[in-house]
Structure 1
Amino acid sequence: MPSTDPAAFRDRAEAGHALGAEVAAHLGQDGVSGRPLVLALPRGGVPVGYEVAGTIGGDLDVVVARKIGMPGRPEFGIGAVSAHGPPMFGAHVHQVDLTGPEITATVAAERAEARRRLRRYRGDRPPPDVAGRTVIVVDDGVATGVTATAALRQLRMRNPRRLVFATPVCAVETGVALGKEADAIVCLRVPTDFTAVGAWYEDYRQLTDEDVEAILAEAWNETR
């Protein structure tokens, strides 16, 4: 069961190790067989996903979605877009002109960044086959859940056998909403006083593309 204990995780590795144990227990209870596929949301979700994949004996890769910020308040996510497909907007943004030039430009810029990240992180490596597999989408924490929702929806269209979302910490309302997108949610902490993801980590340094590449290279070398 999720804990409401507000104690912070030391870092993403510690959070990922604890999350991996919870995901393993969940998969065991559901009788999941075969090698799971762990898809981490860059950048922060990648070190968490690395630990989860190692714990459950899964393959690690990335799924990329980018937040679309509200005009004038770019830190507030009103939607998200993946590398391919249309943008996704929340139902609460009816007051925003979603066809306006500022939104259109933001969507184009974030889609371009999603594509850039996929090219950089994966290179010539083909995308993993999702169809018929148990897929665990991992992030380091979830506030509004717009990027997680976009990732889950694009993966659902690729016909996974089971789609799970796992994260160390999640806002209460967001967890409920994501439960409608995934077949199951695994979350260690669901604090009622959620403020920001970084508040639940002692070390929440920003990661670079090089950090992500190094983690993925290590994971892929281990599974050759």
Structure 2
Amino acid sequence: MMTRRRYRDREQAGRVLADHCGALRVRSAVVLALPRGGVPVAVPVAKYLHAPLDVYIVRKLGVPGQPELAAGAISGDGVVVTNDDVIRATGTSSEDLQRVIDTERAELQRRVVAYRGSRPAVDVRGKTVVVVDDGVATGATARAAVGALRRSGAADVVIAVPVAPPDAVAGLAEVAEVICPLLPRDFHGVGGAYDHFEQLTDQQVCASLAQAVQAE
């Protein structure tokens, strides 16, 4: 893995990430973006790989009262991955966690309808699935995606992100191939690797997906 300094925005990060995905061009691949931030990163990756692009909905399970602290993640396929260390450290009960799961499951379904509508999901059976996000902090969301995709019949799963801390990459490498050009030892969050890291709207995500579909 090579390292670089930082990225201008998600689109430029996607172009850099695509340059590191050359070995995947010989595989039968599909690219799945984790919305919202992963979509503009994934567009140039899918274009470079000549691969279909779709979204894969995974939601973080925040600790009650501390929503930015991940107690785990849940995928649209119903796979739940928990961070037992965080759960123990925060005293999160199974009832508390279940309430968060129920809330996030409803948001998962809303996003599936918003981003995909009536369009069928890309078939991952027997394919190399490249999961793209704008970065990784703990890796819980990516782990949930890996577990769900393997259950759905993916032949192989690759996590491709522009930035992540080294320890998170090491953990993800236990369950999937990882491509990550930027591994800052002084990691201060995904947004710290970008000059421009604005929050994206559902409308922006849908527009990016529509452009990618038209280009296929």
Q: Deviations over 1:38-67 (max 9, x none)?
A: 000000000000010011111100111100
- Residue pairs, 1:87-102, within 5 angstroms: 87-95=80-88, 96-100=91-95, 102=96
2:24 is matched with 27
- Residue pairs, 1:205-224, within 5 angstroms: 205-223=198-216
Q: Is the 8 A contact 2:71 2:87 kept in 1?
A: no
1:60 is matched with 53
| Superposition CA RMSD, Å | 1.4
> Identical aligned pairs, as a percentage?
42
Aligned length: 214
With the length of structure 1 as denominator, give the TM-score of the two structures. 0.91
With the length of structure 2 as denominator, give the TM-score of the two structures. 0.94
Q: Is the 8 A contact 1:39 1:138 kept in 2?
A: yes
1:121 is matched with 115
Q: Counterpart of 2:101 in 1: which secondary structure?
A: helix
CA distance in 1, matches of 2:110, 2:93: 24
- Where does structure 1 lack aligned partners over 5 or more consecutive residues? none
The correspondence for 1:134, drawn from 128, 134, 138, is 128
The code of the aligned residue for 1:186 comes to I
Q: 1:94 to 1:70 in 2, by over 3 A?
A: closer
1:150 is matched with 144
1:78 is matched with 71
CA distance in 1, matches of 2:79, 2:21: 31
- Where does structure 2 lack aligned partners over 5 or more consecutive residues? none
1:171 is matched with 165
Matched, 1:11 2:4: no
The code of the aligned residue for 1:146 comes to A
CA distance in 2, matches of 1:74, 1:128: 31
1:42 is matched with 35
